[in-house]
Amino acid sequence: MRPDPVLARRRFLALSSATAAAAALGLSPFGRLLAAAGLPAGRVAGYGPLAPVADESTGLPLLQLPPGFRYRSFGWAGTPMADGLPTPTQHDGMGVVHADGARLTLVRNHECDAQHPSLAPAAMTYDPASNGGTSTLVIDAGSGELLEARMSLSGTLRNCAGGVTPWHSWLSCEESVLDAGRVEGKRRSVEFTRPHGFVFEVPFDGASRAEPLVAMGQRLHEAAVVHAASGDVYLTEDLDPAAGFYRFVPKVKGELQRGGSLWMLKAHGASDLRRGHRTGDRFKASWVPIEHPERGLGPEGGQDGNLREGVANGGSTFVRLEGCYASGDTIYFISTSGGDAGAGQVWAYDAREESLLLVYESPAQETLYYPDNVVLSPRGGLVLCQDSYRDEPQSLFGLQPDGGLFEFARNNTVLDGLHGFSGDFRNSEFAGACFSPDGRWLFVNVYTPGFTVAITGPWKPGLV
């Protein structure tokens, strides 16, 4: 039975707001979400202690998981795909874009930075100087095995995150802003033929036309998700020391290539949301215009053109906005280094009430440090992918509806020649977490050396 994503959202909201004091205030379900500051900020048990588990594909203990959970790996960087091309490296954002019986279609980003020219056919290549883009994976929904992989977008630059649309496509976002021309890189000099810093749409059943959605802005894009009811697209910006949260209103719902208008969020009474706030703080929100979305470059070549215009018009600043996920009227998004401890925040915008809520703020690096991609589980909890700068194994975390945080998975990847890779990759980030429609499989990437896993096990309501 396919879980209802609206039901999952309601479960998260309802469980997290079950306090008599909040109810007495007459707040809406969204407003009551973690409304009492000081809810559990430390770790809770979750699914139990982690231990190394052998990968069903390679036999290696690539992950540590709770008791009863298992996984298989596939889609390793460098392995040949069905179209004859090698699987690109740097596996990042990902989503399940289509389900057809026993076949699931995922689109996966590759955050490549033009270290090599594109090898893909010209029809799906935006700029032949770069080899960033997406690969499309077809998975057996019963076994979790890879059936087929192929390239679906190339010639883009540092495709970081993105989002699934209600019409079964993937929005892939570039996290680099530059004009056409020569750039001197660490490995080679690159002559870019096109400007970069845009969003591209990838269909589930073929290759992208490699046409930038310029009206969504030119900036350090991270994620882009669609509010199904309105067709509006909400977008994050991975910029430090300040970043904006954006909304694209299309001229025609579901037809993003026809253009639209771009806006930046304004939290009333809070021009700066990076520090000085507490879990449960709520703000009335509105939107200020970005009249020149195509002007991504700021003064002296800075990559903050959209941000500068938004702030000048009254928009509020965050810091390093990364993962984003839409469920019903709620748009969850992550500030990777936000909060007083600089360790991360989880925000939620309610599109119906036009309000903003600080869902969770990490009190210390030891509790949660640098969350990145985020997804809502069919069982009601949030899954957070970690991408910290600390030299330690990276983890997947679960955030329970009552505010409890627990470690669900830990990177345990150490290789000795498998697929040509050797070394300790335990400090490589998790990215692109997403669930199969029936909730059985959690798919997630290990960024370096680059592979995807499908995890399943004894899932429980209220957790992930």
Distance CA 74, CA 61 (A): 14
| 3-class DSSP assignment, residue 299 | helix
Q: What Å distances lie between residue 435 and 71, 173, 382, CA to CA?
A: 13, 20, 11
Residue 321's beta-bridge partner residues? 335
Q: What Å distances lie between residue 295 and 177, 214, 235, 306, 412, CA to CA?
A: 10, 10, 16, 7, 42
- pLDDT range class, residue 30, cuts 50, 70, 90: very low
Instruction: Identify the weakest region by mean pLDDT among 169-173, 182-186, 248-252, 427-431.
Output: 182-186
- pLDDT range class, residue 3, cuts 50, 70, 90: very low
Mean pLDDT in residue range 340-365? 96
Burial of 25 (0-12, 13-18, 19+ CB in 10 A): exposed
pLDDT at 22 exceeding the cut of 90: no
- pLDDT range class, residue 48, cuts 50, 70, 90: very high
- pLDDT range class, residue 71, cuts 50, 70, 90: very high
Contacts (Cβ under 8 Å, ≥6 apart) of 342: none
Burial of 189 (0-12, 13-18, 19+ CB in 10 A): exposed
Q: What's 125-156 look like in SS3?
A: ECCCCCCEEEEEEEEECCCCCEEEEEEEEEEE
- pLDDT range class, residue 291, cuts 50, 70, 90: very high
Give the model confidence (pLDDT) of 120-160 as tens digits: 999 999 999 999 999 999 999 999 999 999 999 999 999 99
**DSSP 8-class letter at 116:** S
What pLDDT score does 383 carry? 97
- pLDDT range class, residue 248, cuts 50, 70, 90: very high
pLDDT at 38 exceeding the cut of 80: no
Percent of the chain at pLDDT exceeding 90: 85
Residue pair 369/388 in contact (Cβ under 8 Å)? The answer is: yes
Q: Domain map of the chain by residue range?
A: 90-212
Distance CA 105, CA 146 (A): 10
Q: Read off the pTM.
A: 0.92
Contacts (Cβ under 8 Å, ≥6 apart) of 397: 368, 371, 383, 384, 386, 405, 406, 407, 408
Name the nearest CA neighbour of 329 among 25, 16, 17, 29: 29
DSSP H or E stretch at residue 10? helix 5-16
The runs of H, that is alpha helices, within 277-367 are 305-312
What pLDDT score does 377 carry? 93
Distance CA 404, CA 107 (A): 31
Give the model confidence (pLDDT) of 167-186 as tens digits: 999 999 999 999 999 988 77
Contacts (Cβ under 8 Å, ≥6 apart) of 325: 163, 223, 225, 331, 332, 333, 374, 375, 376
